[in-house]
Amino acid sequence: MTFYTYGYLTTHHNTWQYARIALLIALLVVFIGLFVHYLRNQWNVKYKDLSIITGTLLLLVLGFQINSLLSLRSASQQTGQITATVQQVATTLKVKPSRLSINATSTGDNLLVKAPDGYYRLNYNSDGSAFVLEKIALKQPKITLVKE
């Protein structure tokens, strides 16, 4: 079972976004350069073909970037919900949120919280607006803790 620390949930970012943006900018610069070179030398078809290939790659990477940004936005909203839940649990247990770990990165059923004094299960009500903490004992837990 994997538990995520509060620090991991608040600082976990997708670093591939920056690499994709850099790739996108590099492809845009190459595309503009090839297209301008083709416009200057219209008799040389090689630059036209290279600019079409680069433009196609640019559109492909742009599509991946937009898809990834939408996924990242959704994931950050879910992470915001789970961090708010961890903060509420910390308030209830009267500990700092940094001392708690939770077994999911998004809200849902069967959430377990690892606190300094044991493990707790979060039982939400039917509309998900409130929860009850139930102390549990795990038998033979195989815990992996993911930190920042």
Q: What is the mean pLDDT of each run of 10 residues along the chain (148 residues)?
A: 81 68 87 88 83 90 83 70 85 90 78 89 82 86 77
Best CA proximity match to 24, nearest among 67, 73, 58: 58
User: What is the pTM assigned to this prediction?
Assistant: 0.60
pLDDT of residue 1: 81
pLDDT of residue 96: 92
Report the C-alpha dihedral over residues 35, 38, 39, 45, rounded to 10 degrees. -130
pLDDT of residue 45: 83
pLDDT of residue 127: 79
Residue 5 is inside which H or E element, if any?
strand 2-5
Q: At what angle do helices 45-93 and 16-40 cross, to 10 degrees?
A: 160
**Amino acid (one-letter) located at 90:** A
pLDDT of residue 125: 82
